[in-house]
Structure 1
Amino acid sequence: MDLAFLHPLYEHPGPWASVYVDTSRYAESAPQELSKTGEALARWLAGQGADEPTCRAVRDAVEDLRHSPEPCGRALFARAGTVVLDPPLATAPGGSSAHWTPLPHTAPLLELAAQEPVCVVAYIERRGAEFELRGAVGSREPGRAGGQQWPPHRTGTGERPVRHFRLRVENTWEHNAAEIADALAVCQEETRADLVILAGEGWERRAVRERLPGRLRTRVIEAPHGVGGRLQDQDVEQIRSEHVRRRADEELERFRSARVPDEEGEDRAVEGVPAVVDAARAHRIDELLLRPDGPDTRREVWVGEDPDQLAMRRKDIGARGERHAWPARADDALVRSVVETRAEAVSLMAAAPDAAPAGGVGALLRREE
């Protein structure tokens, strides 16, 4: 996950109010419920020592969500009476929460803000195919395109609605399979879908899959459904979940392979909070791997004003930063480091717990310069 959008949080010193608002359970009573939630979150922050202007800013921001409802929720990061960042959540946080800490509590975003894979479902038959774009949340009225109108024009709204695209061809099956594969590749590129699901008879699915460009091979999953029926939401959700779990497993396999020193004897991966903190301080993290519920993600480390000022002990931060050092959660300190060094981070929540790095914290490393 690219965390560059968090950069504004690290341009200002703490302490920070980090609030996660769960809006998934609100219906017609949303305005009243949001008002109560905003007041409760402000009280929680005040009880942790937050200043009154920041508590008021959070309360007002939560109440304002009634004008722009989010299906899952929103995160709010505030300091000195101002909400600095308020990203929407793609997954409901399972209840609202508030934290008053030296660093923004950003680690939950790896799981909550990561977008579910948008996918194209291709219903394939001998004489053509119908492509359906499935978004992460619900469905919308479809638009249609076919024949020479392919590919469809963008709506300009910035959204990814559910659409149906029809392609009819009248030649031999071998020709038709190639036409469908070409159109599907264009559709994926146009919609930037993360996943392509092929539905239809087995031999038809295979014929189209074999003709897809290599760049799509890792994005394709075949669904054992005949063209007479449509994939239901639960079918697509199950396929999406399997795809996310497969990607997590692939990241873990990369990590395990990198644990073996290279030909020069250089480590390419480390695990456990102390080793990953050392790598962060040396700006060597290429990709941070976190399992949010890992036993060591909450482990206390020490941080200074700069992202590379972090250590297991306060005295190890160095003379320059030791006078201005604070305890912080390991996961939040490491997220700050990877944001400021333009590395990436991956949640391993979809992977098996016993397959995660030690303590739920690991990193793939950049080569030493």
Structure 2
Amino acid sequence: MKLQFLTPLYAHPGPIASAYLDTSRDRDDPDRAVESRWRKLRRSLLAHDAEQATVEAIADAVGTDREVAGPHGQAVFAAHGKLVLAETLPEPPARDTALYGMLPDTLSLALQHAPDIPYTVVILHRVHVPERTAGRPAGHGGPDEELEIDSESGRWPTSRVAPGARSHRRIPVDGWPEAVERLVGELVTEMDAAGTEMVVVAGDPWAVNSLMRAAPSRLHGAFVKLKDGQHRRREPGRALLEEELAILLDGRLSERDRHQVDTFLAQRARHPEYVEGCAAGVAALQRGQAQTLILSRPVRLHRHLWVGAAPVHLALTGEELSAFGLHYYWEEPAPGAALIRAAAGTQAELICVPDEELPIEDGVAVVLRYTGS
């Protein structure tokens, strides 16, 4: 997963305030619950010497995701009295947190973006149009029916609460043979541009099957046909077929991530000391040699790291940074924030893998851009 979405957070020097809180709407009086949660975080930020203007910038953003139904959360960042970034989270945070420090607390936000799988949903439903049957003999078929076509693309799992543009159209059933060619052309263009890995189709069996047959053979493996074609109402601000997508995509890696994990396994077999463990990860990021940072889920980072002003100013001890000639550095209490900043700042990607699927020392590993042998 690429980390460019974090770029705004590193565009200005700290200190920066980071807040994560549950802003779910599936409860009685959700606005009051969100306000109560925010008051506790506000007190924490002010107690840690956050600027009043910076705290107010976060306050103005908290709860602005109220149009999103169901359980979710919010991550909000502000610095020097201005809002830097506010994102709706697909899952409420495990606990509300607020930090004020030199680095933004980006680990939880990055984890909620992973695995960042691009997909498209297409729902096809046959609907009757009574007004078109006026004056026709009883039992007349075909022209009194239309196909309702809903499509939506996104990147899982953030699309659960930030779905992409949705297309909605209706066409006569007898015009479907021509329309399906246009729809396939649109899908191919979108898939090639976005790197779409999965097209989930549901609804009328005849229309679904003809859509899949019309697609070029190179895309056949990307289609997933759902047996349940019932048309359910989408909750406001939520993705189409969210429940079905969760079954298909939760715990899955993107194709690129799977290839990179294979590369890591090959590198570990040859030189484990260079690619596995916190020390190896820090050394690779420090040199800008990491193509990808791999973290275990659940993340377990127990040691503090030392950092300086630049992303590559990362070390296990302050003495190491001093030996590099740095005069300004500090012990960073949030090691995840230090690792994510180093990865984003050196254009490394991020992969999160369940610990039971890929046990790694310290829960940290890297894929190297190049090796010495």
Spell out, residue by residue over 1:108-127, the C-alpha distance to the aligned partner (whole angstroms, 9 max, x if none): 112334568653224499x9
Match of 1:324 in 2: 329
Unaligned runs of 5+ in 2: 127-141, 154-158, 235-239
Mapped pair 1:367 → 2:366: no
Relative to 1, partners in 2 of residues 1:113 and 1:353: Cα closer, same or farther, differing over 3 Å? same
Spell out, residue by residue over 1:268-313, the C-alpha distance to the aligned partner (whole angstroms, 9 max, x if none): 98232111111101112222222352223x4322111111111112
TM-score (norm 1): 0.72
Q: Give the C-alpha shift of residue 336 in structure 1.
A: 0.6
Match of 1:286 in 2: 291
Spell out, residue by residue over 1:2-48, the C-alpha distance to the aligned partner (whole angstroms, 9 max, x if none): 3223223324443432101321147784554444333211212234x
Q: Give the C-alpha shift of residue 368 in structure 1.
A: 5.7
Taking the TM superposition and a 5 Å limit, the aligned residue runs for 1:81-160 are 81-113=81-113, 119-123=120-124, 131-134=149-152, 136-137=159-160, 160=165
Spell out, residue by residue over 1:218-262, the C-alpha distance to the aligned partner (whole angstroms, 9 max, x if none): 53212234x6x4478796523444234332587346413442249
TM-score (norm 2): 0.71
Relative to 1, partners in 2 of residues 1:122 and 1:79: Cα closer, same or farther, differing over 3 Å? closer
Taking the TM superposition and a 5 Å limit, the aligned residue runs for 1:224-303 are 224-225=227-228, 229-230=230-231, 236-247=242-253, 251-252=257-258, 254-261=260-267, 270-296=275-301, 298-303=302-307
Q: Secondary structure at the match of 2:91?
A: coil
Q: Partners of 1:268 and 1:197 in 2: how far apart?
A: 42
Relative to 1, partners in 2 of residues 1:284 and 1:182: Cα closer, same or farther, differing over 3 Å? farther
Relative to 1, partners in 2 of residues 1:230 and 1:294: Cα closer, same or farther, differing over 3 Å? same
Relative to 1, partners in 2 of residues 1:290 and 1:169: Cα closer, same or farther, differing over 3 Å? farther
Q: Partners of 1:162 and 1:93 in 2: how far apart?
A: 31
Match of 2:138 in 1: none
Q: Secondary structure at the match of 1:69?
A: coil
Relative to 1, partners in 2 of residues 1:281 and 1:165: Cα closer, same or farther, differing over 3 Å? farther
Mapped pair 1:163 → 2:160: no
Match of 1:22 in 2: 22
Match of 2:318 in 1: 314
Match of 2:131 in 1: none
Asked if the contact 1:121–1:132 (Cα under 8 Å) also holds between the matched residues in 2, the reply is yes
Asked if the contact 1:185–1:213 (Cα under 8 Å) also holds between the matched residues in 2, the reply is no
Match of 2:2 in 1: 2
Q: Secondary structure at the match of 2:98?
A: strand
Match of 2:59 in 1: 62
Q: Give the C-alpha shift of residue 107 in structure 1.
A: 0.8
Relative to 1, partners in 2 of residues 1:97 and 1:188: Cα closer, same or farther, differing over 3 Å? farther
Letter aligned with residue 245 of structure 1: G
**The one of 296, 305, 309 aligned to 1:305:** 309
Q: Partners of 1:74 and 1:218 in 2: how far apart?
A: 35
Q: Partners of 1:33 and 1:201 in 2: how far apart?
A: 42
Q: Could you say what the CA RMSD is over the residues aligned between the two structures, in angstroms?
A: 4.2
Spell out, residue by residue over 1:163-183, the C-alpha distance to the aligned partner (whole angstroms, 9 max, x if none): 355474579xxxx5x973662
Mapped pair 1:219 → 2:222: yes
Match of 1:344 in 2: 349
Relative to 1, partners in 2 of residues 1:163 and 1:58: Cα closer, same or farther, differing over 3 Å? farther
Q: Secondary structure at the match of 1:132?
A: strand
Q: Secondary structure at the match of 1:224?
A: coil
Relative to 1, partners in 2 of residues 1:7 and 1:277: Cα closer, same or farther, differing over 3 Å? same
Relative to 1, partners in 2 of residues 1:164 and 1:90: Cα closer, same or farther, differing over 3 Å? farther
Match of 1:355 in 2: 358
Q: Partners of 1:352 and 1:164 in 2: how far apart?
A: 44
Relative to 1, partners in 2 of residues 1:305 and 1:361: Cα closer, same or farther, differing over 3 Å? same
Asked if the contact 1:315–1:322 (Cα under 8 Å) also holds between the matched residues in 2, the reply is no
Relative to 1, partners in 2 of residues 1:300 and 1:66: Cα closer, same or farther, differing over 3 Å? closer
Q: Partners of 1:321 and 1:66 in 2: how far apart?
A: 41
Q: Give the C-alpha shift of residue 203 in structure 1.
A: 9.7
Letter aligned with residue 215 of structure 2: L
Letter aligned with residue 313 of structure 1: T
Letter aligned with residue 306 of structure 1: A
Letter aligned with residue 121 of structure 2: V
Q: Partners of 2:272 and 2:221 in 1: how far apart?
A: 28
Match of 1:37 in 2: 37
Q: Secondary structure at the match of 2:165?
A: coil
Unaligned runs of 5+ in 1: 140-157
Give percent identity, aligned residues only. Answer: 23
Asked if the contact 1:270–1:364 (Cα under 8 Å) also holds between the matched residues in 2, the reply is yes
Asked if the contact 2:149–2:169 (Cα under 8 Å) also holds between the matched residues in 1, the reply is yes
